[in-house]
Structure 1
């Protein structure tokens, strides 16, 4: 059960009738069972849509391929972020095994509508070059020479993006060095594919009833798998749709669409695995980089790159009310500039440090969603709520990544807590 706290001390400091009503609603929310948190491994499709819980599993550092070469940094940084995002969908063969009704729903409605939303909501520095993804190395250690990535001795015969095999046509040549970083060359047994043109992000989609589909009430999950070299923007990702949880009932269409839009955003940037790579408006890293690798430092416990307090800051709330007394509670707050402005404007509280991130639900939910208690029906909280809204706060986070500009006209109104 969520512990109750006056998370916005503005509500307590200014005890208007509206504030008292809002706090009463918080009490009811805290005492009621939270829909969507897993209570069993099964569930019918309709039930899954009513009580869906996001099962985003952020990729560990060694699972993500970095350094995909598009254009030199000095060229990309001069380019304005003013072109609509272009997402290319690539289906795994499992998608074609869906029954005809589910395939038609996914292919003709859900995926096109979800992709179109983000293509209209986000702008990027347009990728003018063909994208050729890097091959996976046999070893986790790589060498970088002249901005190109070299494996030690050999590349893996197959490169995966999540659960999907990346087509050979999408891959660059395998480059290798010996264990001392010498004798670097292109592996003659491989060649560069034709690559991906007219796209800024390639999204590999599968439809497998995987083990993760049975955790909680999972409908879909997604993550990124490769990042480009100059600004670290994710340029490839994967999504898996759980066939047994896909409902074709018309009344559940909007919930399924919201779920897929939510999962796509995890791959585009809203992920604990990507916060450390966020950049400011000039393209400079928000988090310091290691001089030898050019990457942020690794959090050994979480096996992800650790962000700085310019992105997420720990804030201690004194006298946090719990059953039986009060405690000091530490919160994780997203404190990037636009997010901070939007959350302050939303709650009419200019002393808020930032937007609170979820602290419960395990690694699939914590830190990778907004705090449910604070933003309730915002679409990027960890459990689905009816009338979910992709708000200005979420678009602000994507813009604060340094990779996108947001079209705020695409944001939905968020009424929960507004002006309190």
Structure 2
């Protein structure tokens, strides 16, 4: 079913442009990469921060982990995305995926918070290498008219795979006798999934699209020439800043009030709701205004820090955190489609990777600043107010900032393509 839908999108592309059609084999490879790659990245991103709490990292160290992770993963995408426009997508996807597998497999040997910062930074370089190349590859293989539908399918496959992987690693973690061993098992499992993704990516074939004749390390020309893309970068970065304020704080709550297996269930609720959302919106996704996908997907994210604040003070159970995670799944399902589709709508045929990377460059800078500021301030106020009073106060403030920031997307204009 997935391949049939995917091929139908490519048939539309073949009718509308000179881009090549894609056979069934290529469709299967794309969906397998989405399945294993999304599951491995989701597990790594979710549990690396909680692993940092378990090895007793400070809030400042965790803020460096989250801020550097996002700065590197997003900022480097501009150069790597442009490089993929020149060299082709496959090479960057393969090298990046195997690099993620290797570095993540080594991280459980780290017991120091600041060494973990170095490990996560190295891991993030490889994430930045593969991510814009894969996004641009999807843009190569379909038309602007049907890109949202393709992204919905890719995200749906990834969400289903993430759900299965979360439930599996949650049960697998019980083999560990200590919390440290349990989180280590989870990270090893994610590294294995990355390795499988790398093997699958070897079967990719670069589409015969127009390539850049020259490659510059960094170009801001799209921001100068495309006013709507520039507007999107500004509002997306503001939203990213507000989102990142919570990232150094959230792991303390989730690690304190839920076991590794319960955290797997919490994030499973995220995947379940994402899957349901992606299925329900299928008939209308290509007709939906991108800015409403972005706004709705982000305005509801104010509830996540609010939910964790309530958990901190009053409802200290894993199932209450699962409610917030489920709502997050709904919001992220809409936002991920809207974000990628809006970028590709604005991009030129030759520079899909460039536009993707440039957006994530500024998003990376914004999230770096937000995460770092939050973690440093938390370590300043914890000795004054106490750990949980500080965490609770920060969560309430972050909820308000997220809510206000989301309204920036309403100032975007509909895509013209």
Q: TM-score, normalised by structure 2?
A: 0.31
Larger Rg: 1 or 2? 1
The answer to which structure has the higher strand fraction is: 1
The answer to which structure has the higher helix fraction is: 2
Q: TM-score, normalised by structure 1?
A: 0.31
> Which fold has the larger relative contact order, with Cα–Cα distance below 8 Å and residues 6 or more apart in sequence?
2
